[in-house]
Structure formats: structure tokens, C-alpha cells
Amino acid sequence: MSPTRRTTRRSLARRRVPRAAALALLPATATACANDVPEADWSRGLLPDHVTQEGGVVQSLWNGAWIAALATGAVVIVLILWAVIFHRKRKSSAELPPQVRYNLPIEILYTLIPLVMVSVFFFFTARDSAALAQVDGDARVKVKVEAFQWSWRFTSTVDGKALQPVAGVPVHDYHEGPQLVLPVNTKVEFDLSTDDVIHSFWVPEFLFKRDVIPGIREDNPGRKFQINTLNKPGVYAGRCAELCGVDHSRMLFSVKLVSQDEYNKYIATQAGSAQ
């Protein structure tokens, strides 16, 4: 290579490397800028930090699934490389390596191993799904969630007394949407309903979402779910996760977790206007 060509290449690389680096950083910075996207963290497998006990169940299922998937992937890659390296056709001879078609023990083995793996995945998924779908009915706070095109109405009932409903309009920022105030360290039951189209109730920090489907009767267990809030006060973004029309993306709300004391003060201000 001539010295001039080498310099051109080097300067080209000098120009391209920072550009590539900037491009690689783009997803990270984009995440940091968007104000309603929870901070991603590799230690949690990119899930947001959960604020409910149930979120902990999802997080551990997620971690377990990744560990199992990566372990499976590693074993498969090692087996492929082993076959490719040690059992390839040699250039020196025209003969094929020994063929193992219709080898019954091997076929039984590679039927049984995936069966066992799928059973293990199924067991943990079914166990955790059942736990997440569990509704005891004795929650201190019960929230009636009504989804509509394109916002939400939240009506909390605390110790049997209904508070004034909180309803919103389509907004660009979740801080401006309707706000559901909930106490920390409390069991909360949700009842989801809608009169128009399918929506989906999603608070990323709950690590949970549930479709809100019109025409589902009140006694259908699919309408309800419960959470146990952790002691993590803060304001968390919520959104509709089912494309439901032109202002779907503006169907934003927030959940504010407050201390028990603060919640009791909040109830006092809301109770007077309750119906």
C-alpha cells in the first residue's frame, strides 16, 4: 500500500470512528432524554425498577428466563462448534464423517431434553402468572379504572368510601394527565372497564399491563388485578398500551406513590367532595 493511500484510509477511519461511536450511543441518550421512559439498567435486564411486590415476581421470572435462554444458547453454540470443528469432512479424504441418522438413543435424547426444558419454563411461567392474576378482594384501596378515547377516569374507594373521580384529557406529557394517588406498602385492587374500544392499562414500573376490553362483565376475574405497593414514593408514568385511535399516544396518566400520612391527608381533601 502506498503511503498516500494509507493516510487517506487513516483519516477516513478517523472521521468514521467518532460517527460510529455517536451512533452507538444514540439509543442510550435517546432513552435518557425521553421524559416518560424509565431508566434502563442492565443489572435488571433492562427492565425499569419495579415499585410493587408483583413487579419483583416478574423481575425474577425475567432474570430466570434470560439465564435459561443464555445457558441453552451457550450449550447449542458449543455443540455446533464441536460438530463443525471435529466432525467436518476432511479435505484429504472423499469420505463423509460417520453419519448418525436414525440413531434411536440420540433421537430420544433430543426429544426428551427440549421436553424437560419446556416443562421447566412452563412451570415457572404458570406459577408466576397464577400468582399475578390472584385477587384477594380484601385490598384497602380499590380503584375503578375507566378507559375511554383518549384518557382515563380513576375512582378510588378507600376503606369502603369512594373518593372523587379523577379524569383526564389527551396530553403530550404524563405529568399533565390524570393522576392516581396511592399509598406505599398497601394492597391495591384494580377493576378495569371501558365502553368504547380495547385499551391497555400499563404502568412500566409495575412491570405489568392488562388489556381493558369493552363488554366484559363485572364478575369476570380478567377485569381485576391487585398490587402490593413497595415503599418507593414517586411519580410514575402510565400509558395506554393498545392502539385505540388517533390520540392513543396522548392517553397518558401518572401514578403517584405517597407515604401513608400523605395519603391520609389526600383522602381528607377528597372525601368532602365524594359522592
- Applying CB under 5 A, the site for Cu ion has a residue count of 4
- Reduced to 3 states (helix: H, G, I; strand: E, B; else coil), residue 28 is helix
Query: In whole angstroms, how far apart are CA 148 and each of 92, 151, 198, 217?
Result: 72, 6, 9, 17
Name which of 181 and 244 has its Cβ closer to Cu ion: 244
Crossing angle of helices 53-86 and 104-133, in 10° steps, is 170
Name which of 202 and 263 has its Cβ closer to Cu ion: 202
Q: Least separation, in Å, of the C-beta of 253 and Cu ion?
A: 11
State the Rg of the chain over Cα: 27
- Reduced to 3 states (helix: H, G, I; strand: E, B; else coil), residue 32 is helix
227 binds Cu ion (CB under 5 A): no
Beta bridge partners of 189: 142, 226
Q: Least separation, in Å, of the C-beta of 124 and Cu ion?
A: 31
The stretch among 46-54, 115-123, 198-206, 217-225 that binds Cu ion (CB under 5 A) is: 198-206
Stretch 229-258 residues interacting with Cu ion (CB under 5 A): 240, 244, 251
Q: Which of 50, 142, 199, 210 binds Cu ion (CB under 5 A)?
A: 199
212 binds Cu ion (CB under 5 A): no
Q: How far is Cα 49 from Cα 55, in angstroms, rounded to an integer?
A: 9
Q: Least separation, in Å, of the C-beta of 83 and Cu ion?
A: 50
Number of C-beta neighbours around residue 120 at 10 A: 12
Q: Least separation, in Å, of the C-beta of 136 and Cu ion?
A: 28
For Cu ion, the binding residues (CB under 5 A) are 199, 240, 244, 251
